[in-house]
Structure 1
Amino acid sequence: MCQLFLTLLGDTLPAAVGGSDVPGGARGPYGAVVTATSSPDARRLACVDIGSTWTKAALVDAGSGELLATRQAPTSSDVVPGVLAATEGWDAEVRACSSAGGGLRLAVVGYEQLISAEAGHRAALSAGARVVHVAAGRLDGDGLAALAAAAPDVVLLVGGTDGGDATVLRHNAGALASAAGRVPVVLAGNVQVREEVAAVLAAGGCPVTACDNVLPDIGELAPESARAGIRAVFLEHVIGGERLSADPRLQRWVRAVTPDAVLDGVVALAALRSGADVPGVLVLDVGGATTDVYCVPDLDPEQAALRREAVGVPAHRRTVEGDLGVHHSVGDLLAAARAEGLPPTGEDALALGEAAATVALRRHLRAEAAYGAGGASARGVGLVVLSGGVFRHADAGALDAVVSRLAADRGGAAGVLAGTRVVVDRRYVLAAAGLLAGTHPVATAELLQSLLT
């Protein structure tokens, strides 16, 4: 049976939702003492995750990595009041990530389905986007209509290896440039025609961000440049627009879409465990609208050297299940659970979370199997992290039972959870760690230790 380790650090909530963060220590709902200093400290950072329902904040000492306090507040249609409520009185710089308003909606347009479009899809998932549409081949009138109906915030335009055939990439750039409604485009195809294609898009009025090719050669996936481009477009056009708030402070605060920040946190956690027998990490993050699975597997040298024939294997993987949520998409979740042959769950929140985690992990492992020998296996994951409110607020006994059932799931989860250490991210430190990782690596490592002790 898989042993469950809980990070019993408690949680400090604002008075509006049942708690306080008074100096000298406050008791969270699970009995742990949380301390919060009252004197200003320039090193303190407020790391904020703006969700569709709740805005979660963690006050961190950027020098030591000490988690000083946590708080959450409801997210409203204008997200700024939630940030202000969650960080009130902290006198700290705010760094935020956001998945409010559905997060980042992205469409992929590629050369053909099995190679370039698939490469673009994988790059988009690593960037924290929710992929709402994938098109392959030459865009025609019907294809443009389908793309518009998906209502993406950004289009990832890919196609061709470097120096390969560029005819479809050129055609699709022209189609996007002439279409009604200019959606920002991240261009990550054949670099030999990058300037030419970017000029076509710009001449048509499409905001364009030119990046390196996501598939520079057959079997070589290179998503990082496109990931950075997608993040830049998200900050400029989604956060910089007025969909979430017209308050200019939001643009200063937000650094990434939440799944992008969480993935950075997961990568940092895997690096922290590099000396473990099996350092790979898998995260199951169950939310109200989606369930995300993050995986940084540890591959043995033989596996790491293998490449899929057409599309390479990303080192850091993420899948998002837009129909698996315990609130906004609960009807779709129940249907998906029935389709997987799971027993009825009723309306209990933890049971719904278990169903979402089970189905999402099964789907993720099926996607991993498509990577062939380079995909993750049970040997490549030594730590599983459960995240999301349904797990965060559950008691230890109920969670033990959930983990036991997951570890016995012969539909796929047993191959990862059986005999594997499981922890719960009770204070959402993965997102906070991701926001710190680029500038405060020591503090990031210390913050992540709270998951492991």
Structure 2
Amino acid sequence: MTLACVDIGSTFTKAAFVDPATGRLLATAQAPTTLDDVVRGVLAATADHPDTPVIACSSAGGGLRLAVVGYEELISAEAGHRAALSAGARVVHVAAGVLDAPGLAALRDARPDVVLLVGGTDGGEASVLRANAAALVSAASLQGPGASARVPGGSGVLPWSVPVVLAGNVAVRDEVAEVLRRGGLPVHEADNVLPDIGRLAPESARAAIRTVFLEHVIGGDRLSTDPRLRSWVRAVTPDAVLEGVTVLARVLAPEAVSVVVVDVGGATTDVYCVPDPDAEQATLGREAVGIPARRRTVEGDLGVSWSVDALRVAAAVEGLPAPGDEPLHLGEAAATVALRRHLRAEAGYGAGGASARSAGLVVLSGGVFRHADPAAVDRVIARVAADAGGAGSVLGGTPVVVDRRYVLAAVGLLAAEHPEGARALASSLLRSGDEVTAP
């Protein structure tokens, strides 16, 4: 049996043809992503294997855009933010406190596909969660051109509604969910992302976010009206890659080294860190929120095609040389800035956030690395490693693997139903001969 593991990206659609029982990679192919109907791009990428079953992930059109609405910026909203990132979403807005008219306008302008509504520990504060549910209902209650929605603190033109994942205080979950449903908003209930101070519990919210992605993004008509798309897609791409990185970390056990992956794409650059593959909750945590054991940052301004102008600005802000137009130089800039930002985010976790700085393996992924001359990639690795002000603390002297065959997304797609095949495919990345050691 062969499966086509397909990643529908913002620029290219990549296919890996795998024997799911053995994890053997049989072939790879790619085609431009056809954003008017992404199914055409999938069919083009799999044209040489037309009868092969497809399982897929997608980040086309920017992937899953998610906004977090919480009670307090440094506690519940931050917990929701971390849970959203772990679910493979691109967090486009974070709001804290009661939503007033300007707050709702900013939320609408962020154009999220879903709102993650959080607030309060279990049995704790509930008034802000109730108020924000009412504000979202008010914003959706008067639909149509020119409709006005009155919201707390003012009024304005806001004919807008969005699916909601409710993951706050469980003591009022049923009540708040009923308010949202009566207001006509699609609601997916989850356990509290912050059930108690210092304890982050993202898994239930992650599952609900994945459901929303499949029902409202993949199941809608934004990417395609072809019913095959919904039968193919299992996850948003960063969620699949995170699963793949987790499998890779387990393959490296019992050494239990930290794994860091830098995935440079056309629209974003994502950095993944799996410091402890056997636990979902780290033992060391920030006093208020806690630390997720699997961590990911998404940099929406560091793509090498869709957001290349923003990448140049970001490189300048970091004091890096202008990257020019050569794809590998753009990839070098994106990887360096993304690693620096990830390390700054890790520093915010306190003592428990040091794992990325002591990585035992770094994986570089993305077309700019896959398609470049290996010697040129080695030079890029050396330059990034020499970046003593930031990324060098990760890459200096650390083994680096270039995912030239782009298997991590495929590993993640296989993980649930074909775990042994997923482990074997992840192991092949370590045996592929692409390993180098940065100086």
What is the TM-score of this pair, normalised by structure 1?
Answer: 0.88
Q: Find the aligned partners of 1:426 and 1:378 in 2 and give their Cα distance.
A: 22
Q: Which residue of 2 aligns with 1:402?
A: 380
Secondary structure of the residue aligned to 2:54 is strand
Q: CA deviation at 1:378?
A: 5.3
Q: Which residue of 2 aligns with 1:72?
A: 30
- Residue identity over aligned pairs, in percent, reads 74
Q: Superposition pairs for residues 193-208 of structure 1, below 5 Å?
A: 193-208=172-187
Q: Which amino acid letter does the alignment assign opposite residue 88 of structure 1?
A: A
Runs of at least 5 residues in structure 1 that lack an aligned partner in the other structure: 1-42
Q: Which amino acid letter does the alignment assign opposite residue 165 of structure 1?
A: E
Q: Which residue of 2 aligns with 1:23?
A: none
Q: CA deviation at 1:245?
A: 0.3
Q: Which residue of 1 aligns with 2:5?
A: 47
Q: Give yes or no for contact 2:276–2:294 (8 Å, CA) kept in 1.
A: no
CA deviation vs aligned residue, 1:112-157 (integer Å, no higher than 9, x gap)? 1111000001111111111111110001111111111111100000
Q: Superposition pairs for residues 44-443 of structure 1, below 5 Å?
A: 44-76=2-34, 77-90=36-49, 91-180=51-140, 181-276=160-255, 279-298=257-276, 304-377=282-355, 380-443=358-421
Q: Find the aligned partners of 2:357 and 2:233 in 1 and give their Cα distance.
A: 36
Q: Find the aligned partners of 1:379 and 1:133 in 2 and give their Cα distance.
A: 28
CA deviation vs aligned residue, 1:23-69 (integer Å, no higher than 9, x gap)? xxxxxxxxxxxxxxxxxxxx211100001211000111011111111
CA deviation vs aligned residue, 1:355-410 (integer Å, no higher than 9, x gap)? 00000000000000000011133564111000001001111111111111111111
Q: CA deviation at 1:192?
A: 0.9
CA deviation vs aligned residue, 1:212-244 (integer Å, no higher than 9, x gap)? 000011111111110110000000000000000
Q: Give yes or no for contact 2:163–2:186 (8 Å, CA) kept in 1.
A: yes
Secondary structure of the residue aligned to 1:288 is coil
Q: Find the aligned partners of 1:287 and 1:397 in 2 and give their Cα distance.
A: 21
Q: Which amino acid letter does the alignment assign opposite residue 393 of structure 1?
A: H
Q: Which moved more, 1:318-327 or 1:177-186?
A: 177-186
Q: Which moved more, 1:376-385 or 1:140-149?
A: 376-385
Q: CA deviation at 1:275?
A: 2.1
Q: Give yes or no for contact 1:99–1:257 (8 Å, CA) kept in 2.
A: yes
Q: Which has the higher contact order (CA 8 A, sep 6+)?
A: 1
What is the TM-score of this pair, normalised by structure 2?
Answer: 0.91
Q: Find the aligned partners of 2:131 and 2:358 in 1 and give their Cα distance.
A: 42
Q: Which moved more, 1:304-313 or 1:221-230?
A: 304-313
Q: Which residue of 2 aligns with 1:19?
A: none
Q: Find the aligned partners of 1:338 and 1:130 in 2 and give their Cα distance.
A: 24
Q: Give yes or no for contact 2:260–2:356 (8 Å, CA) kept in 1.
A: no
Runs of at least 5 residues in structure 2 that lack an aligned partner in the other structure: 141-159, 432-439
Q: Give yes or no for contact 2:246–2:277 (8 Å, CA) kept in 1.
A: no
Q: Which residue of 2 aligns with 1:30?
A: none
Q: Find the aligned partners of 2:278 and 2:217 in 1 and give their Cα distance.
A: 40
Q: CA deviation at 1:89?
A: 4.1
CA deviation vs aligned residue, 1:226-267 (integer Å, no higher than 9, x gap)? 011000000000000000000001010000100010000011
Q: Find the aligned partners of 1:176 and 1:304 in 2 and give their Cα distance.
A: 34
RMSD after superposition? 1.5
Q: Which amino acid letter does the alignment assign opposite residue 25 of structure 2?
A: L
Q: Find the aligned partners of 2:194 and 2:389 in 1 and give their Cα distance.
A: 32
